[in-house]
Amino acid sequence: MSGYFKEHIDVKTLLITIALVIFGLVSIYSATYDAGVSELATKQMMWAAGGVIVIAIVLFLPFRFLQFISYPSYFISILVLASVLLLGKTVSGSTSWFNLGALRLQPSEFTKITTVLALATYLSRGDVSLQKFRNLAVASGIVLLPVALIMLQPDIGTAIIYLGMFFPLLYWGGASKFTLLSIVAPAVVAIAALFGATPFLICVIILGVLLYLTKEHRIVAAVVFSMMVLIGISVQFIYDGMKPYQQKRIATFLDPNADPLGAGYNVLQSKVAIGSGGLFGKGYLRGTQTQLNFIPEQWTDFIFCVPGEEFGFVGAASVLLLLTGLLYRGVNIGSTVKNRHGGFLAIGITSVFATHTIINIGMSLGLLPVVGVPLPFLSYGGSALLTNMTMVGILMNLYANRKEY
């Protein structure tokens, strides 16, 4: 029995997940302790218990079943995403939620799983090569369809997660350097344009040289370069067309001190909370920024401040080490699983976790704009927690069946 357990149960991934969930529950309880919403910690505990059951169910699903349901589940999730635009509840300016009595579900969270499933199934086909434009276009369409629906909500943060998941899968699938550079270059130039004309021109020159050095598809390279320049020039027009709260988020990212009591308030208070924790922190339930509610709804996007302030560098580093360990386990499973579909699936899931982690912690430290991305397993939210634990269940399923072709 012990041999079977060791061979088929990924204990490391399970323990890391449990540790992260416990960190999350402890942090949410602290963040809500004096905020008048302590019942949220109880709700999150119930979601966590449900997540453990989900992990057990997914772990013991037939390995081929995940591939079998990939396309049907993807199309169903697309229909649900479309319906939320008509029937969903608007929260904080985004129509992303279904209200089901006492429950509130966010379909875009669960669609992350179905999109990864569908993309992994497509890319693992023997006749698919990312060197062919047709195959690349189909793969892009699988990702861009949910992204387009999510942008209509609008929910820029969640849409970025899908794009962040796509790039590593292209690399894993053997896309050429030219293809990868062509995809990332317009985004880099657009971000550089936000900082002014000089950073924009420097990026255009550097990326133009890199496109030329790839020595592939010179005509296509010229088209990509032209699009890159056009997108950079269009940034100001796109910015002017954004909603005021979106403009404030970008302005806050560029200079949080420009509006310290308004759009920049959360970021500045977050940095104060993390910085004031010192080496060992102020003690549990003794964080001044946390307990005095300096950061509104800290239990969601800025939950990283709690371990940073109350447990100090040790607490923040522990969270980062656990998340890094989870990412390592995901890449390790993707590298060792014999089944090609399983490899893509593991890398896709790991990329989702990685994108969430980088953006959320970047937000908390003021290194990235605030786009409403939760920290995996720590931030409050039943839909996000169930989605994350389902993905952990899939990783553990792949580990258990890693020797199957």
pLDDT tens figures, 129-175: 888 889 999 999 999 999 999 988 878 888 889 988 999 999 999 88
**Dihedral pair phi/psi, residue 297, rounded to 5°:** 50, 50
Tell me the sheet residues that pair with 105: 98
**Count of CB atoms within 10 A of residue 72's CB?**
12
The residues, ordered by sequence, that sit 6+ positions from 48 with a Cβ below 8 Å of its Cβ are 21, 24, 25, 385, 389
pLDDT (average), residues 121-126: 93
pLDDT at 105: 83
pLDDT at 269: 86
Question: pLDDT tens for residues 187-219?
Answer: 888 878 877 788 888 888 898 888 888 766 677
Please give the structure tokens belonging to residue 73: 């589940």
pLDDT at 170: 92
In one-letter notation, the amino acid at residue 98 is F
pLDDT at 390: 96
244 versus 120: the higher-pLDDT residue is 120
Tell me the sheet residues that pair with 90: 95
Secondary structure of residue 109 in the 3-state scheme: helix
Distance CA 181, CA 298 (A): 37
Find out whether 28 and 366 touch, Cβ atoms under 8 Å.
Answer: no
**Count of CB atoms within 10 A of residue 222's CB?**
13
Tell me the Cα Rg of the chain. 22
**Count of CB atoms within 10 A of residue 296's CB?**
12
Look at residues 190, 219, 222, 221 and name the one whose alpha carbon lies nearest to residue 203.
190
pLDDT (average), residues 35-55: 90
Residue 33: pLDDT band with limits 50, 70, 90 = confident
Question: pLDDT tens for residues 356-396?
Answer: 999 999 989 888 888 889 999 999 988 999 999 999 999 99
Secondary structure of residue 123 in the 3-state scheme: helix
pLDDT at 316: 94
Confidence check: pLDDT of 4 > 80: no
Distance CA 83, CA 98 (A): 10
Confidence check: pLDDT of 51 > 70: yes
pTM: 0.90
Beta-sheet strand order (sheet of 103-105): 89-91, 94-100, 103-105
Residue 249: pLDDT band with limits 50, 70, 90 = low
Rounded to 5 degrees, what angle do the CA atoms 176, 119, 331 make?
70
Find out whether 309 and 271 touch, Cβ atoms under 8 Å.
Answer: no
Residue 102: pLDDT band with limits 50, 70, 90 = low
Confidence check: pLDDT of 303 > 90: yes
Confidence check: pLDDT of 1 > 60: no
The residues, ordered by sequence, that sit 6+ positions from 349 with a Cβ below 8 Å of its Cβ are 116, 330, 391, 394, 395
pLDDT at 134: 92
Residue 320: pLDDT band with limits 50, 70, 90 = very high
CA 40 to chain centre: 22
251 versus 106: the higher-pLDDT residue is 106
